[in-house]
Amino acid sequence: MLKPVNKLLIKELKDWKSYLIVLTGAIIVSLGVNLFLVPNKIAGGGVTGLATVVYYLSGMPVGVIMLLLNIPLFLLGIKVLGRSFGVKTLFATIALSLAIDLLSPFLNPLTDDLLLASIFGGLFVGCGLGLVLKQDASTGGTDLGAKIVHKLISYISVGQLLLIIDAMVVLTAALVFQNYELGLYATITLFITSRVIDTVIVGVNYTKAVHVISDKSEEISRKLVFEMNHGMTSLSGKGMYTGKEKNVLLCIIRRRELPHLEAVVSQIDENAFIFVTDVREVLGEGFSSHV
């Protein structure tokens, strides 16, 4: 029984760079919580928001409250969902709670302007959580709670459950603090946090996936490969109206290369059908390397 556990621990400890990033993310989240959110009573959803409410009701440290809320969720998650969380998630959960309480005495609020606090609190929390999630970890909280509830009530998606739970936390905070404006500011924080998390995880540099359908696909592919020095893939297709077999060219390019590609295709075949979609992340030669 101990051998598999020891092997798991050894494997996780070898991944020290990932743990360092998780710790960095936890510290960034704690800065957002201590500098902007808690001092201004902005409960931006999740366990952090709930801990903010309990803090003002009981005086207990925010990090301790988060840990007390997360531990039962973690244990229940193991029972309901299985051992799918890993050591890294447990590390992230504890690291965040410790970072919030250990740094709190040394940090003073940077602003009492609620709008600035909600915006910058969301930026810090989103950036930190994005780093944690990018390492395939989690800080527990409502995302874990949503997964547990989804397992029991499968007809409601995890995303919908997260939205419901966060809305309940925001509403609870507004009722406890008797200030509905705080709920509105917390909504701003929630929105910014989610957007920043997406940006950190998938990046801001959109690339484009271009599909070209043409009777002159061979000529187009040769010219594009030669002029743009870009790889290209040919997919088999069939026009369902004409019943004619056609090749569909697929190419992943950067945004600045799109006008040139369109010009080349137009020169060869004015009747070519082109459609372009956004691609948020590309791993492979010529783009980002695999982690």
- Transcribe 191-235 into DSSP letters: HHHHHHHHHHHH-S--EEEEEEE-TTHHHHHHHHHHHH----EEE
Amino acid at site 117: A
What does the alpha-carbon distance between residue 120 and residue 132 come to, in Å, rounded to a whole number?
18
Q: Cα torsion at 190, 191, 192, 194 (round to 10°)? A: 80
| Pair of tokens at residue 167 | 């809305």
What are the C-alpha distances in Å from 168 to residues 18, 41, 123? 33, 16, 22
Residue closest to 170 by CA, chosen among 191, 146, 196: 191
3-state secondary structure of 68: helix
What are the C-alpha distances in Å from 170 to residues 46, 109, 277? 9, 21, 36
Expressed in angstroms, the distance from the first to the final Cα of the chain is 31
**pLDDT at res. 39:** 94
Residues in the chain where the model's pLDDT stays below 70: 1-14, 80-86, 157-159, 202-206, 227-228, 256, 280-291
**pLDDT at res. 287:** 53
What does the alpha-carbon distance between residue 21 and residue 92 come to, in Å, rounded to a whole number?
10
**pLDDT at res. 11:** 58
**pLDDT at res. 97:** 92
Give burial (CB, 10 Å; 0-12/13-18/19+) of 189.
Answer: buried
For the whole model, what pTM was predicted?
0.72
What does the alpha-carbon distance between residue 57 and residue 103 come to, in Å, rounded to a whole number?
21
- Please give the biggest Cα pair distance in the chain: 73
Residues pairing with 212 in the sheet? 249, 274
**pLDDT at res. 254:** 76
3-state secondary structure of 254: strand
**pLDDT at res. 36:** 95
| Phi-psi map region of 229: left, alpha, beta (phi>0 left; psi -120 to 50 alpha) | left
**pLDDT at res. 238:** 76
**pLDDT at res. 205:** 59
**pLDDT at res. 10:** 60
**pLDDT at res. 283:** 63
**pLDDT at res. 135:** 81
Residues pairing with 283 in the sheet? 288
What's the per-residue H, E or C state across 130-147? HHHHHCCCCCCHHHHHHH
**Domains along the sequence of the chain with CATH:** 2-202 (no CATH), 207-279 (3.30.70.120)
